[in-house]
Amino acid sequence: MLRRIGILAVAALTAACLTGAPPVTADEGPEQIPNGTFDTTADPWWHTSNLDFELSGGRLCTNVPGGTVNPWDAIIGVNDIPLVKDETYAFSFFATADPSKVARAFVQLPTDPYTQYVAAAPEVSVSGNTYSYTFTSPVDLPNAQVVFQIGGSATPWRFCVDNVSLKGGAPPEVYTPDTGPRVRVNQVAYLPKGPKNATLVTGATSALPWQLKNSAGAVVAHGSTTPRGVDDSSGQNVHSIDFGSYVKAGTGYTLTADGETSRPFDIKPDAYASLKLDALKFYYTQRSGIAIDDALRPGYGRPAGHVDVAPNQGDKNVPCQPGVCDYRLDVSGGWYDAGDHGKYVVNGGISVAQIMSEFERTKNAPTAKPIGSLNIPESGDAVPDVLDEARWEQEFLLKMQRPDGMVHHKIHDENWTGLPLLPHLDPQKRELHPVSTAATLNLAATAAQAARIFAPYDAAFAAKNLAAAKKAWTAAKANPNLLASPSDGNGGGTYDDAKVSDEFYWAAAELYITTGEKEYKDFVLASPHHTADLWSKSGVFDWGNVAALGRLDLATVPNELPGRAAVRQSVVDGAERYLGVVKAHPYGLPFDPGNYFWGSNSAVLNNTVVLGAAYDITGTVKYRDAAIEAIDYLLGRNALNQSYVTGYGEVASKNEHSRWYAHSLDTSLPNPPHGTLAGGPNSDIQDPVAQAKLKGCKPQFCYIDDIGSYATNEEAINWNSALSWVSAFIADQGDGTVKAPGACKVTYTTHGSWPTGFTTQITIENTGTKAVDGWKLQWSFLGGQKIDHSWSANFSQQAATVTAENETWNKTIKPGQSVVIGYNGLGAPGANPSPDLITLNGAACST
């Protein structure tokens, strides 16, 4: 097939020379493939002896025999392609497969070890597609090879290829992001009664006027900017704008300053209700081991991944890496970690913990509201959907535990695969990697948490988790320093962690909260992490630093730890630190690490969790407002003027790195679902796309919405869990009106307990100035406790949550007066602390 691209490229080059303007980009550089169009000949292409060439319809075709084992058992290729170090290349080709198959396309070293400079594994269809990749060559090499590996199929098939192109050898292009208007806002919405802040990029050093306009263009508020100087995170001179005094709801507002008008935004009550759900719905389409039902996620249906159906080798009977073990495990299920098909216990651990904490917050935080339907296969059962989703992962984590209690660190492909590649089409061998102390303690922590949370819904599952948690704890103590290897990174991430004392602390904290047992209490109190300052400006916690997960739960989940008031106060101290960072930052985020790092967006969110938790503990509105302000950064108030959440904001990330949401590589695949968070700016730019485009970037600019940029633009389960927690927190603030505490004091005293039960007396005092006329008292048990027999109120129970409503005779509580009620409860395994949160007619009482 004749191509006109060469002529276009010459035209582009000429235009560039004439204007003296932009340097050539990789795909305008010289063509390096000697004959990629196969118009009259296949020369100088070669094939392995089991293939032959046929020129058919302007394409190069070959009939691939069945019965080969490895991809490299059948190859077509071309030699002697020159590569120049640090230069950027665009590699592309058109291919068809009949029947459709995954083919491998590599630009590589021609001899052992066949180092691949670009490796793609597109799923090639009968009608065919064009596949395009860019990479920066790490070497000077006169004789690289371009090969298509097409072996490994049990049955015969036909492969055709055309327009094979490798262009480049020109200097890397200078990439300039389109950052739009210089007024930066949250492009989704501000809450009517919440904070409203924006940032103006300008050369001006003194205050400038700003105007807020409604959708009709009328000015509804105005004021002056505050000059903030040069911001280190962006290198920009900026001003901040505070328009929080404007409280009227509406859509299509804009903010104008310095002759620039922002992208439009809303001021809207309940603006975060859909993000709260979408951020969690993300997990269903990350599931492994189950077909994704297109009726539940239109456009996202796909066959089950890794269930032992060819070409998958499956997760139901997985061997270890050679020499690591001699058994096999069924480790099917769980969530895929990110854009890859790996499953890693330490990252699954933090993710499922954070989602369970989001649920647990609904039992303990005054403003928290139920989470609602996620439209998953389990919707409609007796368990909240958020817990059904968490259980999908927790069941997988349990499967990673060996009989001796130790837990395998990870399971993934033997070798890295290319993009795109749907989960059910991954042909790689799956392998278990060695057990580690960190993975074992992740299971101890999450299983302990699951044991208390699932107790009211499924006592057997709760008991199974508690047993697994205790066994993991004992095993970790016996093997306290089995570390995952930092070099075990072929085919999957390493998730190596040289320090596990924080994992010990987190596991002990969860085991203590759930059981109340002395061993765990003593461990928590003796751990240096218990009193350490955890509130780093860069990031409070991540998959490798988990002490704050323990500290936050000790502070926010009821327990009787000695010195608990100091634990709660330490979270407030942390929030005070992050509040200071928000106030000092002209972009208003609680994150100030100097250079940004991989997954920075999740660090912004996890620091925000501390602000939210402090508000839950104290009701102090400045912490809540800082948490609400923090989300502005992720939704557009940033140097790039874009939202990092797919489907949210005028200009938003949509090409996150994923093997199955790979729309930009194969238009028959979808983009990531709405509510998917991108990893975010990363100064270390470890991938070839980022290296080609972003060299020398200031931290906030180290991001590109390109599917190839896994270091800045991947999606991941631990990042969406942070988004889920924070978006739920903000959604629960409704229109931003501060919820007043109740004028009541409740004394909740468990007078006695025996092996199967306990007895509790509750005094409700009206501390206000008006009579209470009719009341409903509510609290939640920690675990599986049940009301048995009660007096002086009408008791009912829904899972862990108890409601006690007045009798006719004690309906009225006059100011200063009290009512006493009580009950006998049925005991359940584990601790039975007094609740932190007791509400009277929906408002929190002091306890």
Q: Which residues are catalytic?
A: 340, 657, 705, 714
Of residues 68 and 720, the one with the C-beta less far from ligand 9MR? 720
Min dist CB 707 to ligand 9MR, Å, is 13
In the three-class reduction of DSSP (H, G, I as helix; E, B as strand; rest coil), residue 184 is classed as strand
Q: Is 451 in the site for ligand 9MR (CB under 6 A)?
A: no
Measured from the CB atom, the residue of 170 and 603 that comes closer to ligand 9MR is 603
The amino acid at residue 100 is S
- Tell me the per-residue interface mask from 745 to 774 with ligand 9MR, x by CB under 6 A, - otherwise: ------------------------------
CB of 677 to ligand 9MR, least distance (A): 11
Alpha helices in 56-151 (DSSP H): none
Q: Which amino acid is at 678?
A: A
Q: Is there binding between residue 598 and ligand 9MR (CB under 6 A)?
A: yes
Min dist. Cβ of residue 710 to ligand 9MR (A): 6
Which lies closer to ligand 9MR via its Cβ, residue 416 or residue 748?
416
Shortest Å, Cβ 318 to ligand 9MR? 18
Residue 672 in contact with ligand 9MR, rule: CB under 6 A: no
- The residue at minimum Cβ distance from ligand 9MR is 493
In the structure encoding, which two tokens stand for residue 295, read together?
């009726």
338 binds ligand 9MR (CB under 6 A): yes
**Which residues, numbered 681-740, are part of the site for ligand 9MR (CB under 6 A)?**
710, 714, 716
The residue assigned the tokens 């949509």 is: 654
Interacting residue with ligand 9MR among 172, 423, 574, 599 (CB under 6 A):
599
Nearer to ligand 9MR, 493 or 822 (CB): 493
Least Å distance, CB 496 to ligand 9MR, is 8
Residue 275 is encoded by which pair of tokens? 């993000």
The CA-atom distances, in angstroms, between 166 and each of 37, 69, 146 are 12, 29, 9
What is the signed CA dihedral for 727, 507, 833, 460, rounded to 10 degrees?
A: 90
HSE-CB at 414 with a 13 A cutoff on CA atoms is: 13
What is the footprint of ligand 9MR within residues 318-337 (CB under 6 A)?
337
If the CB atoms of residues 162 and 337 are measured against ligand 9MR, the closer one turns out to be 337
Closer Cβ to ligand 9MR, 338 or 800, answer by number:
338
228 near 303, Cβ under 8 Å?
Answer: no
In degrees and rounded to multiples of 5, residue 390 shows phi and psi of -60, -40
Nearer to ligand 9MR, 339 or 833 (CB): 339
Listed as own residue / partner, the contacts of 5-12 with beta carbons closer than 8 Å and 24 or more positions apart are 5/165, 6/31, 9/167
Question: Using CB under 6 A, which residues numbered 466 to 525 contact ligand 9MR?
Answer: 493-495
CA distance linking residue 264 with residue 631, whole number of Å: 16
Distance in angstroms (rounded) separating the CA atoms of residues 563 and 78: 71
Task: Determine the size of the site formed for ligand 9MR (CB under 6 A).
Answer: 12
Q: How many angstroms separate the CA atoms of 247 and 238, rounded?
A: 25
Q: How far apart are CA 547 and CA 430, in angstroms?
A: 32
Sign of the alpha-carbon torsion through 808, 813, 814, 820: positive
Give the nearest distance from C-beta 416 to ligand 9MR in angstroms.
10
Instruction: Considering the complex, state which of residue 63 and residue 494 has its C-beta at the smaller distance from ligand 9MR.
Output: 494
| 28, 173, 340, 393: which one binds ligand 9MR (CB under 6 A) | 340
CB 599, min distance to ligand 9MR, A: 5
590 in contact with ligand 9MR (CB under 6 A): no
In one letter, which amino acid is 337?
Answer: D
Report the interhelical angle of 459-478 vs 501-515 (nearest 10°).
Answer: 140
Window of 82-90, 243-251, 338-346, 588-596 that interacts with ligand 9MR by CB under 6 A: 338-346
Q: Rounded to the nearest whole angstrom, what is the least distance from the CB of residue 724 to ligand 9MR in the complex?
A: 17
23 membership: H or E segment, kind and range:
none
Q: Compute the Cα dihedral for 74, 77, 79, 83 and give only its sign.
A: negative
| 342 binds ligand 9MR per the rule CB under 6 A | yes
248 burial via Cβ count (<10 Å: 0-12, 13-18, 19+): exposed
Site for ligand 9MR, rule CB under 6 A:
337-338, 340, 342, 493-495, 598-599, 710, 714, 716
